[in-house]
Structure 1
């Protein structure tokens, strides 16, 4: 009975978060219109993009996904680039379809990895390492953008959200340090969170320690590949956003471009809606408008950008899942003989 009540409360909590996110998106979309962004004009601009531009954008998007496979390969010894790309696309396709769909995508990836001969422990270490470096990058990028905007004079000497971005970067540094074997500061914070929540029996600290167990040995050997892969992926996402803005007739300085990209990547962490839909778009557009970008142009560029990094991953990831299922079925049929 108690478990049923807890499950019901969990479902109600998730539903409440989803409803709150939808309301926030509706409010933000209304204010984008008040700021001068025309949704009709933005869609009309996107519809006029030529096929050669679309091919170029698609090529940059796919190149970014390929570079990201170096992060996944480094997180799981023995994983090939092709299989890493399959994991990335299939997991993203599921996550982009369902609210809080990251869990379903992770379960699918576990099934794939076990079918390729890796153990559950290999998969756990793979998830921890790849997610730590991904989240750390998403948390650090806003601070880098804030520093560049401040140095170039586009913001005041102490912008009001500099403290928040600094805090986010500190959190990213804690995660990175923990993956390198210096987990004590992070575990102390987890213990403090347990005490504040008055839920010391939940075992958050022991669970975090168990997840990080053995991770440092892998990261210390492969931190160069992890760093290079993640940096290359972020650069190519920045190039894709720049091209999307350019093709709709918007020119932005590098610090402004970086701020828009940082907002888009950071807001995907709040994946209450599928893939952060609505939150990411309105947040990134609001940042670009706030830094002097044309409102309708910013909206058109961000929507085109999300058409690749979010929408395109669903059908392409679906194809990756079908190919994996077909390969698995052939292997199962061939096994008895």
Structure 2
């Protein structure tokens, strides 16, 4: 259902922004193969940078395996309804096959997701603040700036609460208390037993962040900045060259909208939001939409076949290894 909604939303985009698919196709086909190869290289470099963050979140994980985790998880998340949960299960299964225990996998999941979300929000907030100083932001972005600020403040408050034992317990108790499901199933009565494990996860995550903060920070910041460079390059190649403030604001809107869980990768919402910001800055509808779609083709669409192929190759190698072990036995 969510996949169909995403496809429908993207299909309606040209009419929404005031252009046609033929205009978009004309601009897209004008991009040279050499330029596409350069864009692909920039996209791959971003994935390589993010692998540093994943290896920092789970010491002992190699960069090739980190890239495999990222690509395979993204392929599932971008292709399936509720793909995020399926991707998390897939990555957990792969990590178990590589010899990591469930406790380390749980710590890795918490650490990587917290660092990823916090890093993106911080970069978005700093980028909007910087562009506000450099030039006039489009009026449509002012509301988005307020949303980013509110999200960043929420992250800071949650991080402050998780920084103490009492804050951690109060936060989790409050979240559970708000859910009618937990009240009916008596989860709150078992909170005392969970608290011990919860505090253990918090302590281990803190230790990992303190020990690996350089690698975690480099990975997330480099990944977001390289994605921003890819976004600008796609707009430049399609002829949409608004102000730096508009490009940054559109990129921020895309990154925030891509977290909307209604459609895979926020498809439809992210493209519409980013294109709307560019149009408000005076960009051509066809050029703006083509540039945004070209960028999304790399960060969302391309990850499905590449990640699926990498996962299929890994499964094939595992199968051959089991066959070889059976023969030699």
The TM-score range, normalised by the shorter chain, is: 0.7 to 0.9
1:257-302 C-alpha deviation (Å, 9 max, x unpaired): 2212211111121122122221221122122222333222110001
Moved more, 145-154 or 261-270: 145-154
| Correspondence for 2:273 | 283
CA contact (8 A) 2:75 2:305 kept: yes
| Correspondence for 1:209 | 198
**Which runs of structure 2 are paired with 1:132-211 in the superposition (5 Å)?**
132-155=114-137, 159-174=142-157, 181-182=163-164, 188-197=170-179, 200=183, 201-203=186-188, 209=198, 211=201
Cα distance change, pair 184–152 in 1 and its aligned pair in 2 (3 A): farther
**Which runs of structure 2 are paired with 1:99-110 in the superposition (5 Å)?**
99-110=81-92
Q: 1:250 aligns with which of 210, 231, 240?
A: 240
Q: 2:250 aligns with which of 247, 256, 260?
A: 260
Cα distance change, pair 277–127 in 1 and its aligned pair in 2 (3 A): same
The offset of 1:55, in angstroms, is 0.4
Distance 1:182 1:59 in 2: 43
| Correspondence for 2:54 | 72
Q: 2:69 aligns with which of 87, 96, 99?
A: 87
How many pairs were matched up?
Answer: 318
Cα distance change, pair 161–234 in 1 and its aligned pair in 2 (3 A): closer
Q: How high is the TM-score relative to the length of structure 1? A: 0.83
| Correspondence for 2:223 | 233
Structure with higher RCO (Cα < 8 A, 6+ apart): 2
Equivalent residue of 2:142, what SS? coil
Segments of 5+ residues of structure 2 without an aligned counterpart are none
Segments of 5+ residues of structure 1 without an aligned counterpart are 1-14
The offset of 1:139, in angstroms, is 2.6
CA contact (8 A) 2:6 2:267 kept: no
Distance 2:283 2:170 in 1: 42
The offset of 1:121, in angstroms, is 1.1
| Correspondence for 1:329 | 319
Q: Which has the higher helix share?
A: 2
The offset of 1:40, in angstroms, is 2.7
Distance 1:116 1:24 in 2: 36
**Which runs of structure 2 are paired with 1:111-150 in the superposition (5 Å)?**
111-150=93-132
Cα distance change, pair 315–160 in 1 and its aligned pair in 2 (3 A): closer
Cα distance change, pair 279–35 in 1 and its aligned pair in 2 (3 A): closer
The offset of 1:172, in angstroms, is 3.1
CA RMSD of aligned residues (A): 3.0
Moved more, 56-65 or 197-206: 197-206
The offset of 1:332, in angstroms, is 2.0
